């Protein structure tokens, strides 16, 4: 059965390749080849890796590759169909309908994704029971571009799933549909059962407790066919952790805002599924869009502008239409130099633009007037273009701008900032947060000379006078009669090597607590394991004291 599936998959790939070749679409073909190679690599890695984390990452890469391949396949189908239609249909190229104005493309960036979780109170606060873990990641798709986020391990101690990535889509239109899908796989020993022989697995699942048995059986059942994930291809041939679609949503232009917004998620897996997570049902993110018209100049050229207050005085400027402004620079070179423009004319949705040809004006008859309303006032700027062609191109640019603004709506009010996504760092292994106590390990167990040497090296020449705690070893203060339990008082004459022999650590930086009265000579930095009575710490060596306390 496995072999048959292998063969089918290979045939699939072959077919896809052939299609790409036949279309002679080099761009798509190149991308497809790349993805197929990545997929093969991921399969090999999955087969070879031993650690669970690696397997999860490899499975994720495999799924993303699969989804991209599927996508390209769909795209190829469409193009093939279009090509066939073109050949058969008779479409005269001249008298076609006038090309409709299409809005400019833009960049879409989604960042700061956060999906809140809803654990049961008892689970979250008491953290009882086994710590189940899940591996989750997001798949984001606009058109034929599919991007994934990093994989995050989730357990009961997290209140939200937070993704640090910025996902950027370069060429999207204002009618984009950003499909967001959350995939999860459960990281448990039970996952291993999926690979176990069926009989053993059923035996195990029936002998487990009721709820865990149910979960295991559910995972086995879904192991045969993959979850009904729309984007992902099933991966029956390759073993490894199974990702299930947990939730999805589609975001459009209406969701774009220069700020955080919460959107509803459609949950996809039932509770019986082993990968089920208690999702609250929403996703918070920052979805911004930068239409190209806002960040790139759409038209530029020489203009003559009427100076305010001087009706007859026309200044020649270099105009640059960028975003919602027409910048008028003194010289064309000023734009590159980054100088301030002479003045700026705002162009927004309410701006009125009129073109005209004034026969009576000498010189430059082609005029352009731009009117803006500021409160009660209406301010009109009159501009003159060099030629009819120039005027037409300016008008065209302005019409396009107006059209873009109507399509991109709120994105054209102000430029929304997009941070360049940082290169994805490999998952960091957090250094174990040791206290100062872990800073120093003393190798020779009870060699005081070695200890003082290390300390001397550390402190430099400052350690001229022996530290006060050293007095404990040299000068034994007598134990006061009924000594208070709070004092850290090791037995005077018993400094012998501790039996278990592991290096002890202690910190010089700890501030010695002031044990009053009388015991102030005994300073805390002594290794705490020494003290048989240290609060809260279990002493592992034989006790040296026999304390007496009054009650």
Partner 1 sequence: MFLWPGQPFLLSVQQRVEIHKLRQGENLILGFSIGGGIDQDPSQNPFSEDKTDKGIYVTRVSEGGPAEIAGLQIGDKIMQVNGWDMTMVTHDQARKRLTKRSEEVVRLLVTRQSLDTTSMLCLPPILASAHCWVPNSEGQERIPGPA
What residue ranges bind partner 1 (CB under 8 A)? 482, 485, 491, 532-533, 535, 539, 542-551
3-state secondary structure at position 381: strand
**Owner of token pair 């005027």:** 391
For partner 1, the closer of residues 74 and 541 by Cβ is 541
Distance CA 32, CA 100 (A): 31
Minimum distance, C-beta of residue 498 to partner 1, in the bound complex (Å):
14
For partner 1, the closer of residues 168 and 479 by Cβ is 479
Minimum distance, C-beta of residue 530 to partner 1, in the bound complex (Å):
13
3-state secondary structure at position 316: strand
Distance CA 104, CA 399 (A): 12
Minimum distance, C-beta of residue 541 to partner 1, in the bound complex (Å):
11
Minimum distance, C-beta of residue 524 to partner 1, in the bound complex (Å):
18
Distance CA 401, CA 154 (A): 46
With beta carbons less than 8 A apart as the criterion, state whether 400 and 101 touch.
yes
Minimum distance, C-beta of residue 510 to partner 1, in the bound complex (Å):
22
Distance CA 159, CA 20 (A): 46
Minimum distance, C-beta of residue 494 to partner 1, in the bound complex (Å):
9
b/e map 158-183, b = 16+ CB within 10 Å: eeebebebbbbbeebbbebebbbbbb
Distance CA 316, CA 414 (A): 28
For partner 1, the closer of residues 495 and 508 by Cβ is 495
Q: What is the DSSP string of 238-292?
A: S-SPPPEEEEEEEE-GGG--SS-EEEE-EE-S-TTSTT---B-SEEEEEEEEEEH
Find, among 384, 380, 314, the residue nearest to 347 by Cα: 380
Q: Would you state the structure tokens that stand for residue 473, as one six-digit string?
A: 């070893």
For partner 1, the closer of residues 503 and 543 by Cβ is 543
With beta carbons less than 8 A apart as the criterion, state whether 104 and 291 touch.
yes
Dihedral-angle region of residue 514 (phi above 0 means left; psi in -120 to 50 means alpha; beta otherwise): beta
Find, among 171, 165, 172, the residue nearest to 286 by Cα: 165
For partner 1, the closer of residues 23 and 547 by Cβ is 547
Distance CA 247, CA 265 (A): 6
For partner 1, the closer of residues 434 and 481 by Cβ is 481
For partner 1, the closer of residues 241 and 490 by Cβ is 490
**Owner of token pair 């911004």:** 288
Minimum distance, C-beta of residue 476 to partner 1, in the bound complex (Å):
16
Find, among 349, 318, 323, 347, the residue nearest to 335 by Cα: 318
Say what angle helices 2-23 and 26-48 make with each other, to 10 degrees.
Answer: 160
Handedness of CA 35, 40, 41, 43 (dihedral sign): positive
Minimum distance, C-beta of residue 535 to partner 1, in the bound complex (Å):
8
Minimum distance, C-beta of residue 478 to partner 1, in the bound complex (Å):
15
Minimum distance, C-beta of residue 443 to partner 1, in the bound complex (Å):
28
For partner 1, the closer of residues 133 and 533 by Cβ is 533
For partner 1, the closer of residues 406 and 476 by Cβ is 476
For partner 1, the closer of residues 96 and 550 by Cβ is 550
Handedness of CA 525, 528, 529, 531 (dihedral sign): positive
For partner 1, the closer of residues 289 and 528 by Cβ is 528
Residue 497 makes CB contacts below 8 A (sequence gap 6+) with 445, 446
Handedness of CA 332, 336, 338, 344 (dihedral sign): positive
Minimum distance, C-beta of residue 192 to partner 1, in the bound complex (Å):
42
For partner 1, the closer of residues 441 and 537 by Cβ is 537
Minimum distance, C-beta of residue 551 to partner 1, in the bound complex (Å):
4
Q: Would you state the structure tokens that stand for residue 254, as one six-digit string?
A: 């209406």
Minimum distance, C-beta of residue 520 to partner 1, in the bound complex (Å):
21
Minimum distance, C-beta of residue 539 to partner 1, in the bound complex (Å):
6
For partner 1, the closer of residues 259 and 499 by Cβ is 499
Bridge partners (DSSP) listed for residue 345 = 326
For partner 1, the closer of residues 362 and 478 by Cβ is 478
3-state secondary structure at position 65: helix
């Amino acid at each position: 059965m496995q072999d048959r599936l292998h063969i089918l998959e290979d045939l699939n790939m072959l077919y896809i390749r052939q299609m790409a070749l036949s279309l002679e679409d080099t761009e798509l073909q190149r991308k497809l080849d790349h993805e197929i190679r990545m997929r093969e690599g991921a399969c090999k890695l999955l087969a070879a890796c031993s650690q669970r984390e690696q397997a999860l990452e490899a499975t994720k890469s495999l799924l993303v590759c699969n989804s991209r391949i599927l996508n390209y396949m769909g795209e190829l189908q469409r193009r093939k169909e279009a090509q066939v239609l073109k050949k058969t249909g008779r479409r005269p190229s001249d008298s076609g309908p006038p090309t409709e104005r299409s809005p400019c493309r833009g960049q879409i960036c989604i960042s700061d994704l956060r999906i809140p979780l809803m654990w049961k109170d008892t689970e979250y606060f008491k953290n009882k029971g086994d710590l189940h873990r899940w591996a989750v990641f997001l798949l984001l798709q606009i058109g034929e571009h599919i991007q994934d986020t990093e994989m995050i391990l989730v357990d009961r101690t997290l209140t939200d799933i937070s993704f640090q990535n910025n996902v950027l889509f370069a060429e999207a239109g204002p009618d984009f549909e950003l499909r967001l899908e959350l995939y999860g796989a459960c990281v448990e020993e039970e996952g291993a059962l999926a690979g176990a022989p069926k009989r053993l697995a059923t035996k195990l699942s029936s002998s487990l407790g009721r709820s865990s048995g149910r979960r295991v059986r559910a995972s086995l059942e879904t192991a045969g066919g993959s979850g009904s994930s729309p984007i992902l291809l099933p991966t029956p041939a390759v073993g490894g952790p199974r990702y299930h679609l947990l939730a999805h949503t589609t975001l459009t232009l209406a969701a774009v805002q220069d700020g955080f917004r919460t959107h509803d998620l459609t949950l996809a897996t039932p509770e019986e599924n082993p990968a089920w997570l208690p999702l609250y049902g929403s996703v918070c993110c920052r979805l911004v869009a930068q239409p190209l018209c806002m960040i790139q100049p759409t038209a530029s050229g020489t203009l003559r502008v009427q100076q305010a207050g001087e009706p007859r005085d026309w200044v020649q400027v270099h105009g640059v239409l960028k975003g919602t402004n027409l910048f008028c620079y003194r010289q064309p070179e000023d734009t590159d130099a980054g100088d301030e423009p002479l003045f700026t004319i705002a162009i927004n949705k309410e701006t009125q633009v009129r073109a005209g040809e004034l026969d009576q004006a000498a010189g430059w008859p082609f005029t352009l007037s731009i009117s803006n309303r500021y409160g009660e006032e209406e301010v009109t700027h009159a501009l003159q273009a060099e030629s009819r062609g120039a005027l037409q191109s300016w008008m065209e640019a302005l019409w396009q701008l107006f059209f873009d603004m109507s399509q991109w709506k709120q994105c054209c009010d102000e430029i929304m900032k997009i941070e360049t996504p940082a290169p994805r760092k490999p998952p960091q292994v957090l250094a174990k947060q040791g206290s100062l106590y872990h800073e120093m390990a003393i190798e020779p167990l009870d060699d005081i000379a070695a200890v003082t040497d290390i300390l001397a090296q550390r402190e430099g020449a400052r350690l001229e006078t022996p530290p006060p705690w050293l007095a404990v070893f040299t000068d034994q203060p007598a134990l006061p009669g009924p000594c208070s339990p709070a004092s850290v008082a090791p037995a005077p004459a018993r400094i012998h090597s501790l039996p278990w022999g592991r290096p002890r650590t202690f910190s010089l930086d700890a501030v010695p607590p002031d044990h009053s009265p009388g015991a102030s000579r005994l300073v805390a930095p002594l290794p705490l394991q020494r003290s048989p009575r240290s609060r809260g710490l279990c002493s592992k060596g034989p006790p040296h004291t026999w304390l007496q306390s009054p009650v």
